[in-house]
């Protein structure tokens, strides 16, 4: 199968920095991928390269097997960028129709208004929309050409909670329909919900590339909290091989563990009178922090 | 091709709805013509004042639309990130440029026609059909260097509006569009001969007086076009080599 996006040893240098440093990656049709990284990690430059907004210093970038700089390769691409202001003196419908006119097989106007939930705002001036509705209009513009690859740069910034959930549902429908989605976000919960693959970048390189569950188990520990009134368990717990650390405050214990299943089995197998067991953490956020911190050292 | 038509339709809609554009490009030259003309039959440069000032004001309107309105509009679309988004669509950079040029040419055509109409109605300026057509064609095609200057000004970041207004007023004044060069001091007249605005209007004045367009005028206009475009290309390249540019 041919990849939708392919980086082959791609480097992009600017006068004083090397923003992308010998990166190779392939994204295939139907994947839902999140690109993560702290500011200056090379995310934005990688995106600019994928979309043909920049040319690589060395290496090769392809989009649908073609050079992304050529606008013909954008026919099956839909894009939501950050900090884009819609031109003035156009109504919402006119704006969407403008975008529809760019593509060979556009979706119907009514479908796009429905997808973005802008039916009631169809006749308003596009640049007078509120922040959240503006994001939805940009989503409608990105969907105008019925894209195979949907690229979303921080798509839910400025949306309220209800709008976010509605948006995530829409994305799930698109993933189910076989669309390829590439997302950047600061909301790790969003990445976890939508993506089947997470690529973490730092200092212009890929530091992790796996399913969110894999990244979480590899790079984030889980915490097991419980209470035990009788004996001091500190030493026993610390000796288990999967334990990262143990804290106790009175009769409350918190174990950080690399393998919560194994620790639980051991805990329940002992004759200790433990109660109120709670397993937490192991979030993508912790994994992300650890990954990007390790690299910085 | 469809993407170009779609973009052109939107551009025309936005132009028609732009009050600032209507004011500067259409109402201002026509109003100036009606206000400042008192004796349309007075002789000047081998023709009469009514026809001479008609050319001045048509040029004034066209230069304003190209340098000021086009520059400000391009700058706003770049600054707002809209051009960056357009580059991710199937609309090519060449297509975008073509649309801007086509819109600008149509605007120039309308401005010239409106000023001609005002002069014909108010001062009974009459020319043969052939001469009207040649005059119109010249004022239309000769506007190219100003479109190029508009593109250059459009690359300016926040200062496009100020630069556009300065260039518009400065070039119009110095090039003898507001006061005829014949009434200027020798120094100012020499300066006027260097202005692209003078070189743009002079062939049209020549046409009115039955003289030839003047080859040196063409040479100046071609030279200015090359300079403006080269400067625009240079600035564009400079912007592209920075990480945060589009």
Per-residue pLDDT, A297: 41
* pLDDT of amino acid B243: 54
Query: From the CA of A6, how many Å to the nearest CA of chain B?
Result: 17
Residues A251 and A150 in one domain: no
- Residue B243 near residue A17 (C-beta atoms within 8 A): yes
Query: A290 in a domain, yes or no?
Result: no
Query: Number of C-alpha atoms within 13 angstroms, CB side, residue B101?
Result: 11
Same domain, A13 and A93: yes
Angstroms from A233 CA to nearest CA on chain B: 55
A225 within domain boundaries: yes
Question: In the prediction, which pLDDT does B156 show?
Answer: 87
Do A57 and A103 share a domain, yes or no? yes
For B2-18, how does the pLDDT look when each residue is reduced to its tens digit (9 = 90+)? 889 999 999 999 988 98
CATH number for the domain harbouring residue A205 = 3.40.50.300
What pLDDT is attached to residue B242? 64
- Which of A211, A243, A271 delimits the end of a domain? A211
CA-nearest of A265, A47, A247, A221 to A151 is: A47
pLDDT of residue B39: 81
Q: Average pLDDT of B35-49? A: 87
Q: Among A138-142, A272-276, A286-290, which range has the highest average pLDDT?
A: A138-142
pLDDT classification of A95: cutoffs 50, 70, 90? very high
Is there a single domain that holds both residue A179 and residue A267? no
Same domain, A46 and A128: yes
The domain of A164 spans 5-211
Residue B246 confidence class, pLDDT cut points 50, 70, 90: very low
A98 with B9: Cβ contact below 8 A: yes
> Rounded to an integer, what distance in angstroms lies between the CA atom of residue A89 and that of residue A123?
12
Instruction: Check CB contact under 8 Å for B7 and A98.
Output: yes
In the predicted model, what is the mean pLDDT of chain B? 90
Helix (H) or strand (E) holding A172: helix A161-176
From B237's Cα to the closest Cα of chain A, the distance in A is: 12
**pLDDT > 70: what percent of chain A?**
98
Q: Per-residue pLDDT averaged across B168-186, rounded?
A: 93
Residue with tokens 């007075």: B42
* pLDDT value, residue B202: 96
Considering only A23-32, B36-45, B180-189, which range has the smallest mean pLDDT?
B36-45
Is A30 inside any structural domain? yes
* Beta-carbon separation of B6 and A97 below 8 A: yes
Judge: A84–B81 Cβ closer than 8 Å, yes or no: yes
Contacts of A89 in chain B (CB under 8 A): 13-14, 17-18
- Per the domain annotation, does A226 fall within a domain? yes
Nearest Cβ partner for A83 among B18, B81, B87: B81
* B10 vs A44, A83, A94: nearest CB: A94
Distance of CA B71 to the CA centre of its chain: 11
Q: Give the one of B14, B95, B242 whose C-beta lies nearest to A14's C-beta.
A: B242
pLDDT of residue B220 exceeding 90, the answer is yes
* Whether B18 and A19 lie within 8 Å, measured CB to CB: no
Q: Where are the beta strands (DSSP E) in chain B?
A: 43-44, 47-48
The pLDDT of residue A294 = 56
Nearest to B246 by CA among B89, B78, B91: B78
Chain A contact for B137 (CB, 8 A cutoff): no
Question: Quick check: B80 and A84 in contact, CB under 8 A?
Answer: yes
CA dist list (Å): A227 to A234, A236, A276, A295: 12, 15, 6, 36
Q: Best mutation site among B238, B241, B243, B246 for testing chain A: the one with the most A CBs within 10 Å? A: B243
Whole-number pLDDT of residue A189: 81
Give contacts of B242 with chain A, Cβ < 8 Å.
14
- Say if residue A237 is in the same domain as residue A200: no
CATH at A235: 3.30.70
Query: Per the domain annotation, does A32 fall within a domain?
Result: yes
Residue B94: pLDDT over 90:
no
Is A215 or B84 the better-scoring residue by pLDDT?
A: B84
- Residues A111 and A178 placed together within one structural domain of the fold: yes
Structure confidence at residue B221 (pLDDT): 95
The answer to the question of residue A66 being in a domain is yes
A157 confidence band (pLDDT: 50, 70, 90): confident
**Of A52 and A281, the one with more pLDDT:** A52
Give CA–CA dist B52/B95, Å, rounded. 37
pLDDT, residue B245, reads 45
Residue B17 near chain A (CB below 8 Å):
yes
A154 contacts chain B (CB < 8 A): no
Of A221-225, A286-290, B221-225, least confident by mean pLDDT is A286-290
Q: How many domains does one find in chain A?
A: 2
Mutant choice from B90, B100, B244, B245 vs A, greatest count of A C-beta within 10 A: B90
User: Which helix (H) or strand (E) segment is A215 a member of?
Assistant: helix A212-219
Q: Which of A71, A90, A101 sits opposite B92 (nearest CB)?
A: A71
Q: Is the pLDDT at A190 greater than 90, yes or no?
A: no
CA–CA separation, A136 and A141 (whole Å): 9
Q: Do A94 and B88 touch (CB under 8 A)?
A: no
- Flag whether A296 is in a domain: no
Is A286 within a domain?
no
In this structure, what token pair is assigned to residue B123?
Answer: 């001062």
Same domain, A156 and A269: no
Q: Does A100 touch chain B (CB under 8 A)?
A: yes
Same-domain pairing of A239 and A172: no
One domain, residues A206 and A239:
no
User: Where residue B41 falls among pLDDT bands split at 50, 70, 90?
Assistant: confident
Contact B14 A89 (CB under 8 A): yes
User: Distance between CA A223 and CA A256 in Å, rounded?
Assistant: 4
Range in A198-212, A241-255, B5-19 the model is least confident about: A241-255
**ipTM score:** 0.84
Choose one of A189, A211, A233: the last residue of a domain. Answer: A211
Residues A266 and A235 in one domain: yes
- Is the domain of A33 the same as that of A167? yes
Averaged pLDDT of chain A: 89
Whether A203 and A41 have beta carbons less than 8 Å apart is answered as: yes
pLDDT at B244: 54
Residue where one domain finishes, among candidates A211, A229, A264:
A211
Query: Mind listing the pLDDT tens digit for each residue in B104-137?
Result: 989 999 999 999 999 999 999 999 999 999 999 9
Question: Which residues of chain B neighbour A103 with C-beta distances below 8 Å?
Answer: 3, 89-90
One-character DSSP codes across B49-74: HHHHHHHHHHHHHHHIIIIIIIHHHH
- Predicted confidence at residue A2, as pLDDT, reads 85
Using a CB-CB distance cutoff of 8 angstroms, which residues of chain B are in contact with residue A71?
A: 87, 89-93, 95
Q: Is the pLDDT of residue B227 over 50?
A: yes
Does residue A242 have a pLDDT over 90? no
Bridge partners (DSSP) of residue A243 are: A257
For helices B196-209 and B160-174, give the axis angle rounded to 10 degrees. Answer: 40
Give B18 or A96, the one with higher predicted confidence.
A96
**Any long-range contacts for B180-184 (C-beta under 8 Å, 24+ apart)?**
B180/B44, B180/B45, B180/B52, B180/B56, B182/B44, B182/B45
Interface test with B, best of A13, A79, A83, A84 (most B CBs within 10 A): A84
């Amino acid at each position: 199968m041919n990849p939708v996006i392919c980086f082959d040893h791609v480097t992009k240098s600017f006068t004083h920095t090397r923003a992308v440093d010998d990166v190779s990656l392939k994204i295939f049709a139907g994947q839902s991928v999140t690109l993560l990284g702290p500011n200056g990690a090379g995310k934005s430059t990688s995106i600019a390269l994928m979309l043909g907004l920049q040319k690589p210093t060395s290496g090769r970038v392809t989009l649908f097997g073609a050079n992304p700089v050529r606008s013909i390769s954008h026919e099956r691409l839909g894009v939501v960028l950050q900090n884009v202001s819609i031109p003035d003196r156009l109504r919402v419908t006119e704006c969407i129709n403008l975008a529809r006119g760019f593509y060979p097989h556009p979706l119907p106007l009514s479908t796009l208004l429905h997808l973005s939930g802008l039916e009631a705002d169809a006749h308003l001036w596009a640049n007078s929309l509120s922040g959240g509705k503006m994001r939805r209009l940009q989503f409608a513009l990105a969907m105008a050409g019925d894209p195979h690859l949907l690229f979303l740069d921080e798509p839910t910034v400025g949306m309220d909670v209800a709008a976010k959930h509605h948006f995530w549902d829409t994305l799930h429908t698109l993933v189910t329909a076989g669309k390829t989605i590439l997302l950047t976000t600061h909301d790790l919960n969003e990445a976890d919900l939508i993506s089947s693959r997470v690529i973490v970048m730092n200092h212009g390189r890929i530091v992790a590339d796996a399913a969110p569950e894999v990244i979480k188990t590899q790079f984030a520990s889980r915490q097991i909290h419980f209470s035990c009134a009788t004996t001091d368990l500190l030493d026993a717990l610390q000796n288990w091989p999967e334990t990262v650390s143990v804290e106790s405050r009175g009769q409350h214990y918190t174990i950080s563990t690399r393998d919560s299943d194994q620790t639980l089995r051991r805990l329940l197998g002992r004759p200790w009178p433990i109660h109120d067991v709670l397993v937490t953490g192991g979030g993508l956020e912790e994994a992300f922090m650890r990954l990007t911190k390790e690299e910085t050292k | 091709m469809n993407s170009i038509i779609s973009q052109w339709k939107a551009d025309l809609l936005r132009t028609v709805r732009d009050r600032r554009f209507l004011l500067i490009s259409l109402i201002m030259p026509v109003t100036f013509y009606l206000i400042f003309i008192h004796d349309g039959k007075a002789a000047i440069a081998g023709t009469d004042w009514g026809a001479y000032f008609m050319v001045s004001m048509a040029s004034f309107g066209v230069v304003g639309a190209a340098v000021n309105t086009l520059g400000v509009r391009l700058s706003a679309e770049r600054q707002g990130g809209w051009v960056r988004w357009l580059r991710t669509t199937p609309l090519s950079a060449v297509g975008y440029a073509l649309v801007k040029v086509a819109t600008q040419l149509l605007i120039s055509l309308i401005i010239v026609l409106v000023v001609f109409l005002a002069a014909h109605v108010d001062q009974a300026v009459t020319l043969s059909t052939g001469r009207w057509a040649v005059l119109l064609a010249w004022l239309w095609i000769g506007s190219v260097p100003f479109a190029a200057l508009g593109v250059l000004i459009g690359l300016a970041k926040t200062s496009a509006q100020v630069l556009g207004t300065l260039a518009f007023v400065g070039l119009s004044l110095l090039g003898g569009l507001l006061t005829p060069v014949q009434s200027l001091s020798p120094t100012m007249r020499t300066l006027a001969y260097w202005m692209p605005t003078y070189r743009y209007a002079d062939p049209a004045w020549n046409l009115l007086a039955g003289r030839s367009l003047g080859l040196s005028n063409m040479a100046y206009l071609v030279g200015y076009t090359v300079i403006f475009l080269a400067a625009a290309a240079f600035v564009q390249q400079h912007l592209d080599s920075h990480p945060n540019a589009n």
